[in-house]
């Protein structure tokens, strides 16, 4: 055939020859039109990204312009923990990194896979952390996760759903800045880094389309299916090192939505199921090849934990909270906190205006299979969020919730029930996006009524900036590097009092020093609960418990030979190079007197008293 075409072109003459070698007259203008359309689309994408970034910057403006001097007011402990993780992860650029670290809880160490250590984010932003410090990286990630999640959903809606840009923008705003995600921004980087979720959804849809024999004349697109499976494996692998809880919730939600969509589109399911299932199994196999070692470390490695830190009954969503407004929105009230477990868990507070508008849009679009599947997924995940025993307006009813069906399942049982509600806003975002898109292509009052109703409903959950406060200044002993005079390279520094889950403040010392030294005890998840179950922190040694009691009560203890021997044993157990007491410690003079009785006179370094070993 190629030879025939070439021969015909070579023998043509006159006008026929001109037609054979010249492009069709419309080709040039058509290509130019496509380029202009692509440019307009990219400009719109850039504008959407800038709007989302500006809004996220406004929500987090309390952390700027000097993040090192500001911190989150509602959950400072988790911020201290995540900044420590980011500083530790940055050491990967120097080749000093392991999934089990001895830089905390010395000498036992901490299993990073058993903690929400956001390794992927820490390594990705390591250059920034090393250049300007972990507080800057943390502040950037708090804002970037919100903006990135909204932008990712916007791109999914405009590309995969082919939605109108206004419709996609409104739906994406709910996905990225909904009450749940904004409240989780109070210290939970692993929960707000949801910009991978739309990518995962896109790859699943791409795999489904490639597996459908009716999708193209030649049957299933095996090359596209293979690339989708490989992409899924890559996203899942990265997701494990960002936030396993979000990955789990996404997988459960997609499973429910896929089943509901398959029941609505049975012919598509029958055609595509073999190839689709094969692609998913291939993706799972590829991901497990990469994740086999990290997951083994997480569940069976040193200081790993087999379960979640909280029992499911501890974190249910209150049924009454769905119609209330988060305290972190313009319509919210502080007393809303009583219906949740803390200021970072306003996961269900969508308010009655948004729920009513979402129901109306769902009914209007009820003929669409995707809408029915999204509503099914939202209802199932909302039901699971109620926990094993339903709570209504703060009262436990004793009525079993659907979550009881999941009780005892490995991994799933470790997820907090209330966080299942985080899957609801994206699903409602799909419904709202499709409704506004359809309305904008209608005539009559509906063209204005639906976008107005959706916009007004979103305004009812308009978030307020995250509350922040001044960060306590670091002691000069740490900030100016004087610690190097009493800590051996890679050694252990014992702050007085030691860091605990309720007061992890001393971990800021290690963060400021780039985690160049280890510390005993601290804030982390480890197998120190009953029977080796998960718990926050570890047991205090006799000396750290004694010093903590002095710092708390301000009473000088009785020190004898027994206490001195215990102190020497503890220092030896920790492998300590140096014990340090800074002037800003509570009851510093009493603590100094106690330490002198335990270890003898100390050495003054800047604003700290030190004892070297």
Asked if residue 178 is part of any domain, the answer here is yes
**Statement to judge: residues 239 and 93 lie in one domain:** yes
pLDDT at res. 219: 82
Nearest to 307 by CA among 533, 537, 536: 533
Q: What is the share, in percent, of the chain residues with pLDDT greater than 70?
A: 95
Same domain, 172 and 261: yes
Backbone angles phi, psi at 489, to 5 degrees: -55, 125
Asked if 161 and 434 touch (Cβ cutoff 8 Å), the reply is yes
Question: Do 303 and 416 have their domain in common?
Answer: yes
CA distance 410 to 353: 37
pLDDT at 15 over 70: no
| Dihedral-angle region of residue 393 (phi above 0 means left; psi in -120 to 50 means alpha; beta otherwise) | left
pLDDT-based confidence at 324, cuts 50/70/90?
very high
How far, in Å, are 356, 375, 432 from residue 359 at the CA level? 5, 9, 10
Q: Give me the pLDDT at residue 26, please.
A: 53
Is 11 a residue whose pLDDT tops 70?
Answer: no
**How far, CA to CA in Å, does 129 sit from each of 83, 139, 191, 277, 282?**
9, 11, 20, 41, 36
Q: What string of H, E and C letters represents the secondary structure of 147-209?
A: HHHHHHHHHHHHHCCCCCHHHHHHHHHHHHHCHHHHHHCCCCHHHHCCCHHHHHHHHHHHHHH
Convert the pLDDT of each residue in 552-577 to its tens digit: 999 999 999 999 999 999 999 999 99
Could you tell me if 325 and 300 lie in one domain?
yes
Q: d(Cα 169, Cα 51) in Å, to the nearest integer? A: 10
How buried is residue 455: exposed, middle or buried, by Cβ count under 10 Å (0-12/13-18/19+)? middle
Give a yes or no: residue 527 inside a domain. no
* Tens digits of residue pLDDT in 327-336: 999 999 988 9
Does residue 58 lie in a domain region? no
* Predicted pLDDT of residue 313: 79
- Average pLDDT rounded to a whole number, residues 375-379: 98
- Same domain for 90 and 157, yes or no, is yes
16, pLDDT greater than 80 = no
pLDDT at 23: 46
Give the Cα-Cα-Cα angle 178, 182, 184 (nearest 5 degrees).
120
Q: How much is the average pLDDT of 30-40?
A: 78
The whole-number pLDDT of residue 12 equals: 39
State whether 424 and 491 are in the same domain: no
> For the chain, what is the domain count?
2
Q: Which of helix, strand or coil describes residue 501?
A: coil
Residues 220 and 347 in one domain: yes
163 and 267 fall within a common domain: yes
* Averaged pLDDT, 111-126: 96
pLDDT at 27: 60
pLDDT at 448 > cutoff 60: yes
Indicate the residue among 404, 428, 459 that finishes a domain. 459
Does 268 share its domain with 399?
yes
Q: Which domain holds residue 293?
A: 74-459
Alpha carbon distances (Å) from 124 to 37, 64, 93, 302: 34, 22, 10, 25
Tell whether 194 and 276 lie within a shared domain: yes
- What's the whole-number mean pLDDT along residues 331-358? 94
Indicate whether 95 pLDDT > 60: yes
> Residue 411: what pLDDT?
75
Distance CA 89, CA 96 (A): 9
For residue 2, the model assigns a pLDDT of 34
Question: In the numeric block, which tokens belong to residue 21?
Answer: 């070698």
Query: Across residues 317-332, what is the average pLDDT?
Result: 96
Whether 299 and 306 have beta carbons less than 8 Å apart is answered as yes
| Mean pLDDT along residues 75-100 | 96
Q: What is the pLDDT of residue 223?
A: 94
* Residue 464: inside a domain: no
What is the pTM assigned to this prediction? 0.92
Asked if the structure places residue 232 within a domain, the reply is yes
Same domain, 148 and 270: yes
Backbone φ, ψ for residue 206 (5° rounding)? -60, -40
Q: Lowest-confidence range among 148-162, 189-203, 409-423?
A: 409-423
Distance, CA of 131 to chain centre: 24
**361-385 b/e (C-beta count within 10 Å ≥ 16 → b):** bbebbeebebbbbbbbbbebbbbbb
Region of residue 537 (left: phi > 0; alpha: psi -120 to 50; beta: else): left
Indicate whether 417 and 491 sit together in one domain: no
Residue 60 lies in a domain: no
Domain membership of residue 154 (yes or no) is yes
d(CA 39, CA 48): 14
Domain for residue 36, yes or no?
Answer: no
What's the mean pLDDT when you consider all of the chain?
Answer: 93
Count H helices and E strands in the chain, helices first: 23, 12
**Other beta carbons less than 10 A from residue 295's beta carbon:** 18
Considering 408, 431, 459, which residue would you say is the last residue of a domain?
459
Instruction: Indicate the angle between helix axes 134-159 and 76-90, nearest 10 degrees.
Output: 90
């Amino acid at each position: 055939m190629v030879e025939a075409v070439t021969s015909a072109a070579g023998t043509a003459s006159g006008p026929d020859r001109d037609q054979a070698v010249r492009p069709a007259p419309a080709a040039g203008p058509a290509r130019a039109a496509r380029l202009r359309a692509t440019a307009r689309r990219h400009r719109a994408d850039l504008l959407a990204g800038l709007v989302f970034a500006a809004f996220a910057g406004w929500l987090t403006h309390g952390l700027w312009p000097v993040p090192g001097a500001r911190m989150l007011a509602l959950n400072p402990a988790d911020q201290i923990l995540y900044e420590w993780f980011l500083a530790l992860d940055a050491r990967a650029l120097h080749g000093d990194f392991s999934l089990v670290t001895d830089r905390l809880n010395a000498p036992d160490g901490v299993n990073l896979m058993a903690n929400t250590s956001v390794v992927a984010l820490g390594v990705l932003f390591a250059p920034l952390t090393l250049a300007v410090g972990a507080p800057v990286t943390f502040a950037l990630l708090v804002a970037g996760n919100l903006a990135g999640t909204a932008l990712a959903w916007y791109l999914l809606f405009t590309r995969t759903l082919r939605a109108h840009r206004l419709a996609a923008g409104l739906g994406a705003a709910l996905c990225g800045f909904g009450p749940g995600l904004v409240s989780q921004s109070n210290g939970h980087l692993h929960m707000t880094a949801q910009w991978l979720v739309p990518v995962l959804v896109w790859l699943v849809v791409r795999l489904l389309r490639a597996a459908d024999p009716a999708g193209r004349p030649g049957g299933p697109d095996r090359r596209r299916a293979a690339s989708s499976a490989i992409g899924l494996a890559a996203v899942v692998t990265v997701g494990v090192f960002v936030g396993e809880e979000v990955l789990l919730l996404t997988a459960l939600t997609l499973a429910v939505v896929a089943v509901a969509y398959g029941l609505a589109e049975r012919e598509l399911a029958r055609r595509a199921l073999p190839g689709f299932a094969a692609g998913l199994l291939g993706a799972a196999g590829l991901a497990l090849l990469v994740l086999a070692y990290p997951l083994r470390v997480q569940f069976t490695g040193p200081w790993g934990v087999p379960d979640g830190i909280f029992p499911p009954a501890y974190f249910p969503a209150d049924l009454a909270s769905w119609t209330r407004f988060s305290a972190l929105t313009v319509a919210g009230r502080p007393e809303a906190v009583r219906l949740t477990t803390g200021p970072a868990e306003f996961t269900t507070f969508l308010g009655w205006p948004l729920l009513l508008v979402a129901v109306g849009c769902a009914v209007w679009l009820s003929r669409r299979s995707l809408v029915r599947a999204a509503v099914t997924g939202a209802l199932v995940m909302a039901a699971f969020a109620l926990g094993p025993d339903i709570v209504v307006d703060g009262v436990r009813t004793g009525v079993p919730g659907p979550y009881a069906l999941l009780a005892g399942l490995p991994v799933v049982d470790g997820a907090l029930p209330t966080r299942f509600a985080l899957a609801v806003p994206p699903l409602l975002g799909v419904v709202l996006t499709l409704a506004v898109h359809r309305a904008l292509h209608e005539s009559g009052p509906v063209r204005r009524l639906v976008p107005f109703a959706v916009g007004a409903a979103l305004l009812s959950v308009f978030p307020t900036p995250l509350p922040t406060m001044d960060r306590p200044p670091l002691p000069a002993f740490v900030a100016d590097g004087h610690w190097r005079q009493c800590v051996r390279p890679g050694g252990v520094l014992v702050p007085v009092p030691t860091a605990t889950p309720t007061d992890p403040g001393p971990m800021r010392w290690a963060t400021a020093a780039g985690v160049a030294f280890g510390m005993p005890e601290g804030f982390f998840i480890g197998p120190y609960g009953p029977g080796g179950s998960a718990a926050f922190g570890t047991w205090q040694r006799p000396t750290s418990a004694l010093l903590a009691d002095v710092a708390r009560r301000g009473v000088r203890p009785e020190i004898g030979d027994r206490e001195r021997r215990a102190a020497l044993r503890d220092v030896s157990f920790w492998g300590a190079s140096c014990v340090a007491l800074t002037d800003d410690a509570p009851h510093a003079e009493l603590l100094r007197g106690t330490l002198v009785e335990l270890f003898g006179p100390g050495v003054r370094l800047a604003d700290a008293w030190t004892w070297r070993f």
